[in-house]
Amino acid sequence: MDGAQAGLSLIKQLASCDNKTRNRSLGVLLKSWLPSQSQISEDDMKKLWKGLFYCVWHADKLPAQAHLIDRLSSILPQLHLPISVQYFSVFLLTMRREWTGIDGLRLDKFYLLIRKFMLFFFLLLKKNSWDLELSTRLMGVLVESTFLADDNLLGNGVNYHIASVFLEELRPLLPLSKQVLDVLLGPFVSVMGKVSDKILLAKIKSNVFDWLLKMGNRLLEVKKSKVDVDSGNDVLVLGTIALAFGFSAKFFELGSAVECPQGNRKVLFGLHEQFLKLEKDFASLGIDISLPEVNEDTDEDEVPTLVPLSTGMEVAASNTDVANMSGSKRLKRCKKAKKESSSSRKKAKKQNNLSSDCDTEEDDNVVMPNYGNSNEESNHDASLITFNKSVISNLQMQFEKVAAEVGLDKNVGSACDFPEVTGNGIVSKKRKRAKSTNKKQSDDPELSSEVNADGGAT
């Protein structure tokens, strides 16, 4: 079975009453069959969209509907370009043909389908770098298949909704160059001078040009008050478009044309007067309004230089911290113990257990976290010295002397992590016992000799 026959078989399954059968065939069509096609006949594409339309028709509950609509619309930029154009044009034809049969309960999901297709229509143009020739071709497909369609299909609701959402879906992709915007917005200007549908005329006026006028007037107020506005604000982006394209002259020319429908002239001349007033107000302020420069490669050039730079700094900083921790461990512990020895007696008792735990873990070569002042300690890292036995002995004698003068000699055992010093708990208890029995030494010489013996052992 060739590709065309396989596709027709899958398309027939889209009309199945079984949901699993429809989903299975839809998955194969969208993931493998349709992207692999370089050419599809017009009849086959119409059959495909007939089946896709009824897949949306049968979709119940909002999450399932939104997921299906995303699948159908997001494939538009992924297809081969000729297939994308054909896929989009037949979508518009199918929607106009089936529109009158859609009941009110199902209308919202088809509104969403049209909106999503307009978004991916613009993303298709963006993928092709807003090529002017392609943009002109696709805008021609859009206008000729909807606004200026000469068929007998009663699908005006499709036209109205496209006019309503066009600028909304284009807005996230702005700003664009003047040439591209002229291709995208120019057809709406020309349509207003040709169509006889009053509702469509009102939709285009209110959802495109009235909105541009509103943003232009707000931009005028901002310029008068000299308030700074963010470059991505609607007032600046859309207001600049309202002033940079000379809409007043275009509407006057359309309204004055012989072929312009008589009922459209009032609307066109009204827009001409409003845009002309806006342009004159800006001219009186002496402000030159021009579209911002579009540079799509700026962000892409900056990202590769920023990411490695921050990563390298973090790695270097972490390596430096590890080296400082391992090289200055003993000196930092001595400083910490010295500060603690000058604190109150109550605080010193609480620190005894922590000091004994640190001694035990240091014998096992375990690096403990440092809870001292990191800023203060980092200032001493550059002046570290190498300890030998004589330096350690002198430091021990000095700390013992200071502790004895302060009256906290029971904490000398935890002042530094030296192997010559025994556990803290035993020393403290025996010396405390010696002080408590000081009065009895004169009366009982045997008790005095025992205390002295214990002190010498310590």
pLDDT in tens, 124-159: 999 999 999 999 999 999 999 999 998 889 899 999
Cβ(29)–Cβ(48) below 8 Å: yes
User: Residue 256: pLDDT above 70?
Assistant: yes
State both tokens at 381.
Answer: 């890292």
For all residues of the chain together, what is the average pLDDT?
A: 76
* Cβ atoms of residues 380 and 374 within 8 Å: no
- The residue with greater pLDDT, 388 or 243, is 243
Long-range contacts of 30-34 (CB under 8 A, 24+ apart): 30/71, 30/72, 30/75, 33/3, 33/6, 33/7, 34/7, 34/75, 34/79, 34/83, 34/87
Mean pLDDT for 303-307 is: 34
Quote the CA–CA distance of 376 and 372 in Å, as a whole number: 8
- Residue 335 burial (CB < 10 Å; 0-12/13-18/19+)? middle
pLDDT (0 to 100) of residue 399: 74
Distance CA 434, CA 450 (A): 10
Convert the pLDDT of each residue in 375-399 to its tens digit.
444 444 444 455 566 767 777 777 7
Residue 458 has pLDDT above 90, yes or no: no
Residue 313 has pLDDT above 80, yes or no: no
* Residue in this structure with the two tokens 């997921």, named with its chain if needed: 67
* Residue 31 to residue 53: CA distance in whole angstroms: 18
For the beta carbon of residue 247, count every other beta carbon within 10 angstroms. Answer: 24
* Other CB atoms within 10 A of residue 342 CB: 12
The pLDDT tens digits of the residues spanning 4-55 come to: 777 788 888 887 888 888 899 999 999 999 999 989 999 999 999 999 999 9
Q: Quick check: 279 and 287 in contact, CB under 8 A?
A: no
Percent of the chain with pLDDT over 70: 66
Kindly tell me if the per-residue pLDDT of 331 is higher than 70. no
Q: pTM for the complete prediction?
A: 0.64
Q: How far is CA 224 from CA 213, 284, 394, in A?
A: 17, 11, 78
pLDDT for 146 equals: 96
Token pair for 217? 């007037």
Higher pLDDT, 224 or 453: 224
State the average pLDDT over residues 398-405.
73
Confidence band (pLDDT; 50, 70, 90) for 442? very low
Give me the residue spans of the domains in the chain. Answer: 3-285
